[in-house]
Structures are given as structure tokens and as C-alpha cells.
Amino acid sequence: MSRDMTSKRPSFTDEEALDFHSQPSPGKISMAPTKPMGTQRDLSLAYSPGVAIPVLAISEDEDKAYDYTSKGNLVAVISNGTAILGLGNLGPMASKPVMEGKSVLFKRFADIDSFDIEVDTTDVEEFISTVRNIGSTWGGINLEDISSPDCFIIESRLREELDIPVFHDDQHGTAIIAAAGLINACHITGRNMEDLKVAVSGAGAAGLSVAGLIRHLGVKAENIVMCDSSGVVYEGRTEKMDQFKSAFAIKTSKRTLAEACEGADCLLGLSAKGAVTKDMVKSMAKDPIIFAMANPDPEITPEDIKSVRDDAIIATGRSDYPNQVNNVLGFPYIFRGALDVRARSINEEMKVAAAHAIAELAREDVPDEVAAAYHGARPSFGREYIIPTPFDPRLISFIPPFVAQAAMDTGVARKPIKDMESYRHSLARRADPAAAFIQGVQAHCKENQRRIVFAEGEEPAVVRAAFSFKNQGLGHPILIGREAQVQRAMEQMGIQPGSLEILNARLSDNNPLYTDMLYSRLQRDGYLKRDAQRLVNQDRNVFGCCMLKNGDADGMVTGVTRNYDVALNDALLVLDPIPGQAIIGMSMVINRGRTVFIADTSVTELPQGQDLANIAIEAARGVRALGFTPRVAFLSYSTFGNPMGERGEKVREAVAILDGMKDIDFEYEGDMNADVALNTGHKLLYPFSRLTGPANVLVMPAIHAASISTKLLESMSRATVIGPMLLGLEKPVQIASLGATVGDIVNLATIAAFDVDDVHTS
């Protein structure tokens, strides 16, 4: 990864920063109830008298608090403001914006509820007493920005006196991420941990914790030379020593950081800007590993390192250089794993497990979401990518299982996880609300290995999607394109030749068969045989659909380089609608745990009454095939005739058409406003409504309404949108949007494979 592949540090004015924290409301966090509070009964259950029941249960067994309160998903972020970021001792209230920010990170990255506590004391015993007395409120405590050596004493005592995880992130967070990077740096340079010679610049909280953790990874104690502002920490030294530094004192004649660097394999910087010189770097061993992690400015810049060494593996604490040692890679997921087994503590084994998990993830192929953070460039495991980026969506489902397993193995878990695979799936759902749906579809695809055509096979995103589709075991991908171009794209991505099947439409042995088949279909529509031949030779969508029509493939995904309408018209040259069904586009929208399907989002611009009825039937069929029970609402600006209008009449006509049909096997109602259709209590106002619950299939009065509403939900809320999924063709074809990501293409290819089983053969 070159410098231009990294994200630039954010640039903003002081006023912008203040506005961000003050507008539209002060601060960055708020509380939202998880239960309904709309009626007197709700309030009676939430408070008096209903709350007495769980109170009595918890009084008999305090562990029941995990079952009846939010304790099991709640972490406190606690500080006294004595070491705020790089700003020093500014007091507890000045630390509040930072602590709120930490709480936001817990929620954003691991779906952990969190709030901040600022303790107004610098007295260690008073701090410990305060936190101990309120500690049982939470499932875990994250200590933050507490100066050294007080932080060691505070954490150690609270770990002993509380029966929940207590974790000082300034120590262990940095240590875990640095250890993960070191594991991979050793992997790249062919080193063994037990042989590693390490110099450490900085004997504060982070430096001592890093040194302690790498000893657990196998680095010998005598090979770690710890240095502070007074030089090497050696046996017999008395100046600026304490019990924590003394644990790392070794027998050595070295007295300075410069001497410690001579012949060292690794330099870990956790001190201050300028602490390391070029001469120190020059004196290190071949392929030196240099982690200059001081913030905001490293001990030595990567530019200075590279000016004297071209063989160094470099990491910093900054986002504008490769290999950022960022604590957000660790603490959310470590707590997630600890909370999910109701751990009594976070021990060394759990930290080591987290480090190995992070290191392993960096060696995996990088998804689109990560590449987006590098402005489209795609890092791959190597000297300039040894640590995953915080933008990697896989972190939530990858790291916590390692931590949870270590907690179970070491006996600190109150509630062991019995099915780790199901646990991984549940974690993925926390980060991405679409994950549960996709996982169910993928399970079907893995059982029925279908052949899926990737029509635009020369496009890099399509090649990568096909490779991902195959690697996930979802089916057999077939790339349509010229072999040389596809192979060139594969080589650039590091994909081995022969890994993917490639078909050149122009050179296919099936050309004559496909041409005759297409000509017999189009000859009365003004096409000559040479026109059919040209389409088969030159139009990959047509060729791919001919494969489907002839049974040479099971499904197809396209659309990355062509407008939706063009791709659909290409498909319709070869394929027919399923008899008695309508061709529609349907989008799946998932937001805050709620799923709705919107139709028609891509095919019929201004549907008439019969069109709307057909759309509803096809949407209900597709929704049921995807594992949902359809409840269809025909949406309008009117609700049951008030007010009336031309589009409203079309909607009412559609409802009347369904009323006259005998074989309708799903709930439907309309005309309705969206707020009525989605309201769980709409029957209170409209008791005649036939819907037994809120609608989950929304049939829009026109394509512009469907498209606009879907895009608004995707852009202005946290909604995840899958689709539009194309339904109603005799063979499954899915059309991506122009410039779709690899993830989008894989999802649609998966849906195409799923359609074969659950829509078209049902």
C-alpha cells in the first residue's frame, strides 16, 4: 500500500469541531428505550407495579440481572482526566467529550451500549472506592486516560475486587493491536518470536503492557530492552524506577535507546516525537520491524526511516500512514466476546487470542468496504498491510469468538457458548442487519452448487465478485469475456490462473446452437439471422441468457456496465416471463431490525390496476420464497379513500381485482398511507383492516415513488437495501446497479442461485 492509498487525516477548523459536538443537540450520545412506552400498561410494566417482579427475582439471584436488565450489554467508560489523549491532565470534565466518543465507538463497532463516568479525584484509593461501589451496575468497565503508574494500581485492584471485566484500554488496547502487527511482521520476515530481539522506547502504561503481552507471545524476557527518559531499564537501576518497570529490568550493559537498537530486530515506540533517530534505525538488524506509535507525531516518521532503510516494516498510530495501530480494532470486540460469555475478567489468554485473531484477519482477502477507505485502492497482506483497518466489517464476527473461546477455556466464562458457528452469525447480524437474510440464502446456495454466469467478466469488480462467490462456496461462477483480458485482471488481483471458468462468447462451440435458438425466437420481430449471430457473438447479456435458456447455466448477474433498462431488454430478447407471473423489481429494506420489501422499483413506470395486482402477487410469492410471511399494503397518498385522486383510484382498482380472485393466499389491504401500513396499532383506527400486523410488502403506486422512497431510506437512515431483485423471469437474472460494489454483485449472484431452488422450482 503506497501513501496515496491511505485515507488522509481529517481537516477541520476548531469551529467545525465545536459545532459537531454541540449541534443539533449537545454531546454525542443519548438514551433510547428498548421497550414500548406508549400506553399506561407499558408504563406499568416498565415501572411500578410490574418492575417488582424482576426486582424480586434478582434479589434472590444477582446473576438474573443479566436476564432482566441491560447489564449484560452495558460497559462504563471511566476516567479522571489525568492523561487525556496527548493533552495531559486537564481534569475529569475536560475528558467527557473523549469518554462520550469512546462510548460511541462501542456502539458503532460492537453494538455495545455504553455511557461515560468522570470521577473527580486524583487519589488512587478514592478512585478505586468510587468505582468499586458502583461497579456491579455494568457488565464491564473500560478505564481510560488515567496517568501512569496510577492506572496500573487502579486496574489491578479493580480486577481483584470486581466480578466483571475491567480493562484499561490505554495499556492493553495498544498492546493487543501492536502484538497482532508484530505476529504478521514476523510472518513476513520469517522470524520466530522466541528469537526476536526487541527495543522498547517508552515505559509508560502502553509500553509496559506491550512488553508484557509480547512475552506471552513467546518473546524472551531477556530479549526485551525497555527504555524510558532515563535510558535502559536494567537490573540495579534506582533512578525513576517503580514496581512496574522493575518487572522488565534485565541484566545488560546497554544504557541508552541507541545502544538498545543496535542489532535489534524490532523497535516498539510508545514514547514521544523525535525519540528515535536515523542512526538508530541504521543500526538495526536486517528487515527491521519499527512500530513508531507515539501520537500525534511518531518517534520517527516513515519518511525518515525509508531514507536510511528500504527493508523496514513500519507501523504508526496515525491514519495517514500504512499499518495504523488503532485501539478501535481491539476494545469493542474484546468486550463483545467477554460480555457474551458473561466473563468475570479479561485475562492474558483472552488478549493473546484477540491479537492472533486480528493478525489472522489481516491475511484474509480485503472486501470492498475496506477498499473504499483507500479511495478504491485495494490493500493486500504484505509489508504495508499487516494490520486490518477499522473499516473492515468482518471484525465484529471474527474477533469476539476467539475472545469468548479463550474465556471459556480459562474458566472465567459464566455462560459458555454452545454453538460457536451460530454465535458468529449472530455477531454478523449485529453489524449488518442484512446479514441474517444473506446467511439464510447462502446456506441454500452452498447445498445446491449452481452455475452462475457473471456476464461482464472483464470488469475487475466482477472478476473479484466471481472469485469471492466461489471462495465462499456459493456456487460455480462463469465469467463471460475474452480470456486474455480476464486473465490479466486476475493476475493483477493475485488470483491464480485457472481458478475461474472463462467463456469467450465469440469463440464458444455453442454459438451455432444459440444463434439458431435466438433466430427462431426473433425472426418474426424483424431480425435476420446475422442479427441473431451478432447478438450472440457480441452481447454478453444475450450470450449469458442463451446459456440459461439452453440449460448450460442456472442463473446470471449483470448490470455493472449498462443501465438497468438496457440489461433487462437484453434478457427479454432471450427469456420469457414465467407464465401467469409479472416481471417486477423488488428491493429489500432493513432498518433497526425491521424488514420491508418495496415493489415495483425497476420495471413498470406507471402501473394500472391490473399491473399493481400482478405486482402484489409476484412480490408476495418472492417474499414467501425468501422465508417471510407476506402482508401486502397498496400504498397511496390516500387512506381508504381519503382523499381521492387518479393514482388512488388505480390502487383501489388493484385491491378490487384481488378481492375478485379466489386463489390469493396472502394478506393485503389498501389504499393506505405508509405510516398507517407500517403502524403496529393501525387497526385501532381502522378495525376493518385485513392486515393482522404491520405490512412488510409495500406496493407503490408508481415506479418513481418506489425508487425515491427506497433511495431516501438508504441515504437518510441506517437502512440496508438489497436489490432491486428481479422477479418473474423464466430463468433467474439479477441486474446490479451501475458501478456496483463487489459485495453488491456477490449478493445478487447469491440471490440468482437461490432463485433456482426457491422461486422457479416451487
Domain with residue 471: its CATH number is 3.40.50.10950
Q: Is 84 annotated as a binding residue?
A: yes
Binding site annotation covers 642?
A: no
**Domain shared by 366 and 482, yes or no:** no
Do 666 and 563 sit in the same domain of this protein? Answer: no
Dist. CA 545–CA 556, nearest whole Å: 7
Closest listed residue to residue 374, CA positions, set 321, 308, 427, 440 = 321
Rounded distance between C-alpha atoms, residue 504 and residue 535, angstroms: 13
Q: Which helix (H) or strand (E) holds 315?
A: strand 313-316
The last residue of one of the domains, among 514, 538, 573, is 573
In this model, does residue 225 exceed pLDDT 90?
yes
Beta-strand pair 667-672/631-635: parallel
- Can you tell me the distance from the alpha carbon of 552 to that of 192, in angstroms, rounded to the nearest whole number? 51
Q: According to the model, what pLDDT value does residue 722 have?
A: 83
Parallel, antiparallel, or unpaired for β 631-635 and 594-599? unpaired
Output the pLDDT for position 355. 96
Q: Identify the pLDDT of residue 376.
A: 45
Residue 20: pLDDT band (50, 70, 90) is: confident
3-class DSSP state of 562: coil
Give yes or no: residues 637 and 701 share one domain: yes
- 90 labelled binding-site residue: yes
Which of the 8 DSSP states describes residue 510?
T
Q: Is the pLDDT of residue 520 over 70?
A: yes
Whole-number Å distance between alpha carbons of 213 and 348: 8
Q: What is the CATH number of the domain that holds 190?
A: 3.40.50.720
| Residues 232-252 pLDDT 10s | 999 999 998 988 999 999 999
456: nearest Cα among 570, 588, 372: 570
Is residue 87 marked as binding? yes
- Burial category of 186 from C-beta neighbours within 10 Å (exposed 0-12, middle 13-18, buried 19 and up): buried
What is the total count of domains within the chain? 3
Instruction: Give the domain-ending residue among 358, 387, 421.
Output: 421
Q: Has 691 been labeled as part of a binding site?
A: no
Tell me: do 349 and 452 sit in the same domain: no
> Which pLDDT belongs to residue 365?
80
> Tens digit of pLDDT for each residue in 544-574?
999 999 999 999 999 999 888 899 999 999 9
- State pLDDT tens for residues 403-426: 999 999 999 999 999 999 999 988
Following CA atoms 683, 686, 691, 692 in sequence, which dihedral angle do they give, to the nearest 10 degrees?
A: 20
Both 346 and 456 in one domain: the answer is no
Rounded CA Rg of the chain: 30
294 and 414 housed in the same domain: yes
Assess if residue 509 is contained within a domain: yes
Same domain, 653 and 550: no
Provide the pLDDT for residue 8.
40
Residue at 279 is within a domain: yes
Does 102 qualify as catalytic in the annotation?
yes
Percent of the chain scoring above 70 in pLDDT: 94
**pLDDT above 50 for 709:** yes
Rounded distance between C-alpha atoms, residue 600 and residue 706, angstroms? 6
Higher pLDDT, 15 or 238: 238
Task: Confirm whether 130 is domain-assigned.
Answer: no
pLDDT at 378: 67
If you average pLDDT over every residue of the chain, what do you get?
Answer: 88
Peptide bond into 643 cis (omega under 30): yes
Q: Is 491 annotated as a binding residue?
A: no
Domain boundary among 533, 549, 573: 573
Q: How far apart are CA 226 and CA 209, in angstroms?
A: 11
Mean pLDDT, residues 472-487 = 92
100 labelled ligand-binding:
no
Contact call for residues 139 and 71 (beta carbons, < 8 A):
yes
What was the pLDDT predicted at 628? Answer: 80
Q: If pLDDT is split at 50, 70 and 90, which confidence band does 757 have?
A: very low
CATH of residue 646's domain is 3.40.50.10750
Least confident of 171-185, 278-292, 427-441, 636-650: 427-441
Q: Is 680 exposed, middle or buried (0-12, 13-18, 19+ CB in 10 A)?
A: exposed
Q: Confirm whether 386 is domain-assigned.
A: yes
Report the pLDDT value the prediction gives residue 204, as an integer from 0 to 100.
Answer: 87
Mean pLDDT value of segment 675-688: 87
The predicted structure's pLDDT at residue 368: 57
| The pLDDT of residue 371 | 56
Has residue 439 been placed in a domain? no
Closest CA to 381 of 217, 569, 185: 185
Could you tell me if residue 38 is inside a domain?
Answer: no
Q: Degrees (nearest 5) of the Cα angle 154, 158, 164?
A: 140
Does 102 map to a domain? no
The confidence band for 434, taking pLDDT boundaries of 50, 70 and 90, is low
Q: Which domain holds residue 509?
A: 445-573
Shared domain check, 274 and 223: yes
Question: What is the average pLDDT across 2-20?
Answer: 53
Question: Would you say 345 and 166 are in contact if contact means Cβ atoms under 8 Å apart?
Answer: yes
Q: At 431, is the pLDDT very low, low, confident or very high (cuts 50, 70, 90)?
A: low
531: its cell numbers? 442479427
pLDDT tier for residue 1 given thresholds of 50, 70 and 90 = very low
Terminal Cα-to-Cα distance of the chain (whole angstroms): 48
| pLDDT over threshold 80, residue 163 | yes
Task: Provide the CA 120 distance to its chain's centre, in angstroms.
Answer: 37
> Judging by DSSP bridges, how do beta strands 313-316 and 631-635 pair with one another?
unpaired
- Is 208 in the same domain as 333? yes
Catalytic entry in 102, 245, 351, 650: 102
**Does 340 lie in the same domain as 461?**
no
Q: Is the pLDDT of residue 161 over 90?
A: yes
Half-sphere CA count of 694, side-chain side, radius 13 A: 12
Higher pLDDT, 284 or 319: 284
**What SS3 string covers 660-729?**
CCCCCCCEEEEEECHHHHCCCCHHHCCCCCCCCCCCCEEECCCHHHHHHHHHHHHHHCCCEEEEEEEECE
Kindly state whether residues 321 and 227 are assigned to the same domain: yes
Was 170 annotated as part of a binding site?
yes
**699, part of any domain:** yes
Q: Which residue is associated with the grid cell 446459456?
A: 547
At residue 31, the pLDDT reads 80
The answer on 487 and 391 residing in a single domain is no
In the chain, % of residues over pLDDT 90: 61
